[in-house]
Structure 1
Amino acid sequence: MRTPAFGDIAHLGHVELLTSEFEKSRWFFTRLLGMREVAADGDSVFLHAWDDYERYTLKLTAAPASGVGRVALRAASPEALERRVRAIEDAGRGVGWKDGEQGVGRSYAFTDPDGHPMEIYYDTEWFTAPEGEGPALKNQADRFPGFGINARRLDHVNYLAKDVEENGVFIEQALGGEPTEQIRLDSGEISAQWFHFTNKSYDLVYSADNTGSTGRLHHIAFATDTREDILKGADIFLENGIHIESGPHKHAIQQTFFLYVYEPGGNRIEFANAGARLMLAPDWRTIEWSEAERAKGQAWGMKTISTFHSHGTPPVGE
């Protein structure tokens, strides 16, 4: 039965990505993904994917080691924000209120049980294109870039976690997330969960960190319009010396057509096209995959590469 908290989070808002190769990463996101730079502040730049409605999509920050910084979720209303903050505080995970950045209003900072920095907010500034550079269609946030892979919007974040189940309980109870699919090992342990907050198939994912570390990133993902964008992207990355880890293939879990690459800082980036797959059932039943079913790999395409289960950022033991 769906909990009353479901729907209090509207969607994944924006992500901070840390990179040890700042200028190269900046080139990757602006020239190869087609994102617009909207602001710079200190060691960070703020980038916008062309059809994200908010002012920025990605905060790229120079750091000694690559990885994920804060991940921000937009609440569905001011009242929903207050409800989720109370639940986060009741769970003992709260850090406190802070000022937002680049048009984002007051935000409440917290961590998940694995230590990933997160925040929740409601007030936000919508993106406005510079004079003379707006889209031809008024129902589109920005003009179509027409180069690179043309990343349309931020899609999801996949965290690595020491304890997937502990983090999942927090996401369900404090944030109202619902697991749409999960993997259960023969031992009974849940090794991965995919969570959504509204009708989208998933927004946050937790995968078991085989190193036993905490606070690491598996990947962040951007949505494209079509599979052809992903196929074209593979050629673009090949021509520009970007490491293609896996794909293009089709996942069995969530059915996404995908491509995984490493941006110059070493962070894994996914490009995904899930078509029109939405979770419309108000009584959605979590799809569970067994260890044997997961071992079969992708729906089709090549076998899952070993680094998919070992690589994360920041790197461990390197």
Structure 2
Amino acid sequence: MPALRHEIAHVGHVELLTPEPEQSLDFFVRVLGLTENGSDGDSVYLRTWDDYEHHSLKLTASATSGVGRTGMRAASAEALNRRVAAIEERGLGIGWTDGDPGIGPAYVFRDPDGHEMELYWESEWYQPPEQLRPALKNQAQAYPARGVCVRRLDHVNYLAADAATNGQFICDVLGGRVTEQIMLDTGVISGQWTHFAQKSYDLVYTNDWTHSSGRLHHIAFATDTREDILRAADIALDHGVFIETGPHKHAIQQTFFLYVYEPGGNRIELCNPTARLIFAPDWQPLTWTEAERAKGQAWGLKTIETFHTHGTPPVGER
């Protein structure tokens, strides 16, 4: 496995589609603790409290649920141009756009499964209004003290017809690296976790059991501590939010987790993966076997059936 190219700095933001825009907005603001930072047409821009950029989440009203465009910031203007050339060589480019508020020109493309993505370099650093100004100057905005208070957008997990093909695209074209993966007894790679920097994963692909393309498994927001995940379960309970599974600990990546459904039907993970970073320049993918995954999560909790069947949009609605 080649070393990281460090051409992509990080996942900057993700667009989530919802058929219940008012209820979804209330969920992200009141339950998760995100802050509104503008709107445009059917979209509202939201940010986590320690994100340095304009927004972490673009919430867009839509006829159905699912993931829209995922934005990644390049490491430099030169890196952006190199990655655009590599994407165009694969024939997956769509073209340049002026970009959403807070970012400069963005190059839009699709992964092999059809998920829409964009790369950009120019970014407007967030300047909080007086009421959100933090006491510590190295913090993006004041701690909201509202709901779960998620700190940052952590990762996106896509469903795909072929996880390995898409994971290979992330490595070959975007310069990422596989940190962990699942291999079935048949030799099929059913899931791959990829990263761009020291964080152990940024984009994940898992095989869609419905053999559909372009669907979402979940987006994840990170909290400060594992205790925040436990408190998040109580907050979800108090607000009538459906808890799918957790709190518990994944075996893969060792992430402490809670999975809930937001009102639009999209799965949201609240996670605390911050203790696990990868510094090794010669890291080799860790492969989990089918038998190892059958043991369930880290402490023996079996993976629930809906984890393999629920994705957005529902099959047939895309």
The AA in structure 1 aligned to 2:283 is: W
1:18 match:
17
Distance 1:290 1:217 in 2: 24
1:30-54: CA deviation from partner (whole Å, max 9, x where unpaired): 0011111010111010001000110
Distance 1:231 1:132 in 2: 29
1:61-105: CA deviation from partner (whole Å, max 9, x where unpaired): 000000000001100000100000000001111001111111100
Please tell me the root mean square deviation across aligned C-alpha atoms, in Å. 1.0
2:246 match:
247
Distance 1:128 1:195 in 2: 31
User: Does the aligned pair in 2 maintain the 1:16–1:69 contact within 8 Å?
Assistant: yes
Report how many residues are paired. Answer: 317
1:166-197: CA deviation from partner (whole Å, max 9, x where unpaired): 11121111101100000000000100000000
User: Does the aligned pair in 2 maintain the 1:194–1:202 contact within 8 Å?
Assistant: yes
Q: Secondary structure at the match of 1:194?
A: strand
What are the equivalent positions in structure 2 for 1:198-237 lying under 5 Å apart? Answer: 198-237=197-236
Structure 2 residue 260 is matched with structure 1 residue 261: yes
Distance 1:275 1:81 in 2: 27
Long gaps (5+) in structure 1? none
Distance 1:90 1:40 in 2: 35
Long gaps (5+) in structure 2? none
Q: Specify whether residues 60 and 306 from structure 1 end up closer, same or farther in structure 2 by C-alpha distance, changes over 3 A only.
A: same
What are the equivalent positions in structure 2 for 1:285-296 lying under 5 Å apart? Answer: 285-296=284-295
User: Does the aligned pair in 2 maintain the 1:182–1:192 contact within 8 Å?
Assistant: yes
Q: Which runs of 4+ in 1 moved over 3 A?
A: none
> 1:317 offset after TM fit, Å?
5.4
2:310 match:
311
Q: Secondary structure at the match of 1:89?
A: helix
1:198-218: CA deviation from partner (whole Å, max 9, x where unpaired): 111000000000001000000
> 1:301 offset after TM fit, Å?
5.5
Structure 2 residue 129 is matched with structure 1 residue 133: no
User: Does the aligned pair in 2 maintain the 1:67–1:217 contact within 8 Å?
Assistant: yes
Q: Using structure 1 for the length normalisation, give the TM-score.
A: 0.98
1:79 match:
78
User: Does the aligned pair in 2 maintain the 1:248–1:301 contact within 8 Å?
Assistant: no
What are the equivalent positions in structure 2 for 1:137-216 lying under 5 Å apart? Answer: 137-216=136-215
The AA in structure 2 aligned to 1:225 is: D
Distance 1:57 1:141 in 2: 12
Is 162-171 or 68-77 further displaced after alignment?
162-171
1:115-148: CA deviation from partner (whole Å, max 9, x where unpaired): 0000000100011111232011100001101120
Distance 1:301 1:243 in 2: 22
1:50 match:
49
Distance 2:119 2:280 in 1: 26
> 1:302 offset after TM fit, Å?
2.7
Q: Secondary structure at the match of 1:213?
A: coil
Q: Secondary structure at the match of 2:252?
A: coil
